[in-house]
């Protein structure tokens, strides 16, 4: 283990361990992590070298011809390790405390090298902070560097939106809105990006602001007959204006582009629900 972990809730320091298993017929098995990792097999096992022991109740499983080790339930900060053979499977949980601190330390180290001279890497680091609600002040520095660092910074819809998201996570809503207003009017803000921003506002319960964005998108992209109208239809639906919602769904459905034809039935179902008053 490169970092400290918890095995079935028991703390285990970073390091290399020998793994031994006591197999029982009618009671839980024991997984033993030994400080001795260099001896051959369990022939030289000595319980005085135990780091920790954890118990595992085996379960029945599908037939497995060969002895198999693997990992289930893999998440950012945890996984379940298992051993499986014939019709039995036994496992233990691995958790990594303070996983965000580990990731942040790794990112800081990487961003001090050549990786740090790419605005997209800085943007990704800032997005990590937002997604995990951690290290937001440094995340804001990364977001600002992604936009304005000399020689490689890039101001575009995506980097501005990232900065806005960090500001919002910090509770600086007015600043976040100012930056986002700049983002949607940036030359790189295409109709799809602005639409998705509006959808995000709807999901957050900000239906009035979402409506403003959908209306702006339709005004800024009059040549687009599908996506802005879908946005308006969704916005009016959220506002409880079924008449206008029906109107814009009908316009959108008449102008479905080829790459959206597979979703026609979904859009028609939305329209049908509105017409039926559901």
**What pLDDT, in 10s, does the model give residues 56-78?**
999 999 999 999 999 999 999 99
CB 147 within 8 A of CB 159: yes
Residue 278 has a pLDDT of 66
pLDDT of 192 above 90: yes
Give tens-digit pLDDT for 8-63. Answer: 999 999 999 999 999 999 899 999 999 999 999 899 999 999 999 999 999 999 99
Of 121, 97, 99, nearest to 109 by C-alpha is 121
Give tens-digit pLDDT for 116-169. Answer: 999 999 999 999 999 999 999 999 999 999 999 999 999 999 999 999 999 999
pLDDT of 178 above 80: yes
Rounded distance, CA 147 to CA 137, Å?
16
pLDDT of 200 above 90: yes
Sign, Cα dihedral of 65, 70, 75, 80: positive
Q: What is the mean pLDDT of the chain?
A: 96
Of 141, 136, 138, nearest to 170 by C-alpha is 136
Question: Residue 277 — pLDDT band, cuts 50, 70, 90?
Answer: confident
pLDDT of 97 above 70: yes
Of 235, 167, 170, 225, nearest to 197 by C-alpha is 235
Residue 112 has a pLDDT of 96
Sign, Cα dihedral of 43, 46, 47, 52: negative
């Amino acid at each position: 283990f490169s970092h400290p972990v918890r095995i079935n809730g028991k703390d285990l320091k970073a390091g290399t361990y020998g793994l031994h298993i006591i197999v029982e017929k009618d009671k839980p098995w024991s997984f033993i992590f030994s400080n001795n990792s260099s001896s051959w097999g369990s022939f030289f096992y000595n319980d005085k070298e135990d780091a920790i022991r954890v118990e595992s109740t085996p379960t029945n499983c599908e037939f497995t011809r060969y002895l198999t080790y693997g990992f289930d339930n893999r998440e950012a900060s945890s996984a379940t390790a298992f051993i499986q053979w014939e019709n039995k499977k036994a496992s233990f949980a691995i958790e990594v405390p303070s996983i965000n601190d580990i990731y942040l330390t790794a990112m800081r180290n990487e961003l001090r090298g050549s990786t740090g001279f790419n605005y997209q890497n800085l943007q990704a680091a800032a997005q990590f902070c937002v997604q995990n609600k951690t290290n937001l002040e440094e995340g804001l520095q990364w977001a600002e560097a992604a936009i304005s660092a000399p020689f490689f910074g890039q101001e575009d819809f995506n980097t501005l939106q990232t900065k806005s998201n960090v500001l919002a996570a910090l509770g600086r809503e007015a600043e976040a809105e100012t930056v986002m207003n700049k983002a949607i009017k940036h030359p790189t803000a295409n109709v799809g990006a602005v639409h998705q921003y509006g959808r995000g506002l709807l999901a957050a319960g900000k239906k009035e602001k979402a409506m403003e964005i959908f209306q702006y998108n339709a005004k800024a992209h009059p040549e687009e007959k599908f996506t802005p109208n879908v946005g308006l239809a969704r916005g009016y639906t959220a506002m409880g204006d079924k008449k206008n919602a029906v109107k814009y769904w009908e316009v959108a459905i008449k102008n479905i582009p080829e790459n959206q034809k597979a979703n026609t039935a979904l859009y028609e179902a939305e329209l049908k629900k509105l017409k039926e008053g559901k």
